Structure 1
Amino acid sequence: MWEREQRRIPVVVQGASRGRAAAARGLWVGAEAAVTFGVVVLLLVVHQLWWTNRQARDGAERKVQALERQWEGSGGEAALPDAAAEKVPDGVAAGDGEVAEGGGIRGGGGDTSRAGAGDRTPSPPRWDQAYAILRIPRLGVTAPVAQGVSKGGVLDKGYVGHYPQTAQPGGAGNFALAGHRNTHGEPFRYINRLRAGDEVRVETRDAVFTYVVDKGLAQTSARDSGVIAKVPRSNVRTDVGYTAPGYYLTLTTCTPEYTSKYRLVVWGKLASMRPR
C-alpha cells in the first residue's frame, strides 16, 4: 500500500508542475502581447501628435517661402483686386490705414469675387493650389491658403483651406477658411484665443488684406452652413452672426480638441488693404 502511494505522488506533482508552467507561459505571452500592443498604440500616438505636425509644418513653411519667392520674382507694380480697386468698401482704408471713422462646415455659398486688373477676370485658383498666405500675429501662425477643404490635398498638408464658392481675399461677401485644430500642423489649434480687435492678415500676389476679429461662436453643428454664407449667420444659433452684407473673414475648425463633432467659428471684418 505504502509503495503504491509513493508511486502515485510523482505523477500528481508532475501534473501540477506542467499546469503551472502552462499558466506561466500563458501569462508571459499575454504580457508580451500587451506590451507589443501598448508600443504600437504609443507609436501611433507619436505619429499623429508629433510626426504629422512636424511633416505638415515643414511642408507648409516651404510652401510659404515658395510663394514669397514667386511673388518677389513676378516683377511689375501690383494692383489691388478689382473688388478693392473699383470701389473701396465703406469703412475700409486703402493703403496702410485702419478702419475709417463712421464706418470642417459643409455647404455654404457666395459669389467668388474677381481678382485681376482692369477688365480681366482670371481663372479661379486650381483645386488644392496654394495661392495666398494667412498670418495671425497674436498666435504666431503663418500658413499657406489653398483652394478647397479636402483633407489629403489641403488640410493634412498643414495648409488652410478656402471654402469653394465663398469670396476670395478682399472680396465682397465672406472669405471662409478651414484648418486643423489637432495634428497635421494644427494651424487653427488656438483660434479660440482670438479676441475682438486682433488682426488677421491675408497676403496674395497683388495685395495684403487686414481683417480685424469681431466675434465668434464657441460651438455649432458641423452642418451649420450659415456660418460660411455670404452674410455669415449661424443656422443653429440664429442670434449669432450678421444681418447686412459686408467684407467678412470666417475661420472654422473642429471642437472639442481631438474630436470632429462640432465646429468652432471666428469672424472678422475687412479693415484695410494695400498693394504688395
Structure 2
Amino acid sequence: MRVPVVQHRSRRRRALRRRALWTGGELLVTAGVVLLLLVVHQLWWTNREARRGADHQVQALERQWATPGAGGGTTPSANSGTAGGSSPSRPTATTPADGSTPTTSPGSATTPDRSQAYAILTVPRLHLRVPIAEGVSKRNVLNKGYVGHYPGTQQPGQAGNFALAGHRNTHGEPFRYLNHLRVKDTVRVETSAATFTYTVDKILPQTSAADSGVIRPIPRSTVKPSYGYSRPGYYITLTTCTPEYTSRYRMVVWGTLTSMRPRT
C-alpha cells in the first residue's frame, strides 16, 4: 500500500499564500480605519473646533463693543482679532429699500488688517451668527469658521458691494444652508459703529467659480448676465461652493441695504 507524499514545496506555497492574504487583509482594514478617521476629522472635528473658535470670537467682539469708549467706532487689532485701529464713521441715514443712492452716506470704514475679525454676520433664517474677517484666506479666515470679506470690495454700509465668502462644508461650514435663503429674508452686519440690515432680493443658484462679476461694485454675473443689478446701490453678496462637498461652482445670494442703526 502506497502512502501519499506531501511535497514540502507545496506546503510552503500554501503557507505563503495564507500569509499574503492575511497581511493584505490587515493592510486593507488599516487603510479603511485611517480613511474613516480622516472623514471624521474633516466632517466632525474641523466643524467642532471651527464653530467653537468662531463663537468665542463673536463673544470677544461683543465684549469689546460693550466696553465704554472701546466700541465707538474702532476696528479690531490685527493681533487680538478685537478692537484697535481707525474707526469707521457712524451711519447717518437709512438707505431706500430699492437700492438707490441715499442723499447721505450710511457709513464708511477703514480697511481692517488682513485676517482680523471686525464684524458679525447674523442670518436669522439660518440661525447663523458668525464673525466676519478681512480676506478670504482658507488657513487664516475660512478654515477658522469665519466668513471672509473679499479684499477690494466695499465695507458694511458703504456704497457698492460688500462681498463675503464662507465654507459650505467642513471647518464650521457657516454657509452650509445658504440655499435655504429666500427673497425678503434679512441679513444683518454688526460693526463697532452700527448694525446694517440687508434684505435678500436676488439669488443665483449656480455659476462659475471664476465669475468675478458677482462681486463687482454693481454686481452682475458675467456667466449668466440676467442675474444681478444694473445701477449703483448698497449691496451685500454672499458666496459659497456648490454642489455640496465640491468646489466646482459657486452659489450667490445678493441683498440690498434697507436700514441701519448706529451703535449707542
Distance 2:67 2:91 in 1: 23
The reply to whether residue 89 of structure 1 matches residue 95 of structure 2 is: yes
Partner of 1:110: none
Quick one: which of 30, 38, 45 aligns to 2:39? 45
Q: Does 1:10 align with 2:5?
A: yes
Query: 2 CA distance for matches of 1:127 and 1:34?
Result: 44
Q: Which has the higher helix share?
A: 1
Deviations 1:214-253 (A, max 9, x none): 1111111111000000000000001111101111010000
Q: Pairwise mapping of residues 20-39 of structure 1 onto structure 2 (< 5 A)?
A: 20-39=14-33
Larger radius of gyration: 1
Contact 2:94 2:259 in 1 (8 A): no
Give the match for residue 265 of structure 1: 252
Who is 1:201 aligned against? 188
RMSD: 2.2
- Aligned residue number for residue 83 of structure 2: none
Work out whether 1:59 is the aligned partner of 2:53.
Answer: yes
CA shift digits 1:136-159 (9 cap, x unpaired): 110111100000000001000000
Q: Letter of the 1:181 partner, please give it.
A: R
Offset of residue 19 of structure 1: 1.8
User: TM-score, normalised on structure 2?
Assistant: 0.87
Quote the Cα distance in structure 2 between the aligned partners of 1:212 and 1:267: 8
Q: Give the drift of 1:82.
A: 4.3
Corresponding residue pairs, total: 244
Shift of 1:74: 3.8
- Distance in structure 2 (CA, Å) of the matches to 1:251 and 1:27: 53
| Aligned partner of residue 138 in structure 1, secondary structure | helix
1:83–1:172 Cα contact (<8 Å) kept: no
Could you say what secondary structure the match of 2:108 adopts? coil
Structure 2: gaps (5+ residues): 74-86, 100-106
SS in 1 for 2:199: strand
Residue 83 (structure 1) shift: 7.9
Percent of matched pairs sharing the same residue:
62
Matches for 1:98-177 after TM superposition, within 5 Å: 114-115=108-109, 123-177=110-164
Q: Residues 84 and 171 of structure 1 are in contact (CA less than 8 Å); yes or no, is this contact kept in structure 2?
A: no
Q: Which runs of 5+ in 1 are unaligned?
A: 93-98, 100-112, 116-122
Distance 2:27 2:20 in 1: 10
Q: Does the aligned pair in 2 maintain the 1:83–1:170 contact within 8 Å?
A: no
Contact kept, 8 Å, 2:95 with 2:258, in 1: the verdict is: no
CA change 1:11–1:77 in 2 (3 A) is closer
Task: Provide the secondary structure at the position in 2 that maps to 1:84.
Answer: coil
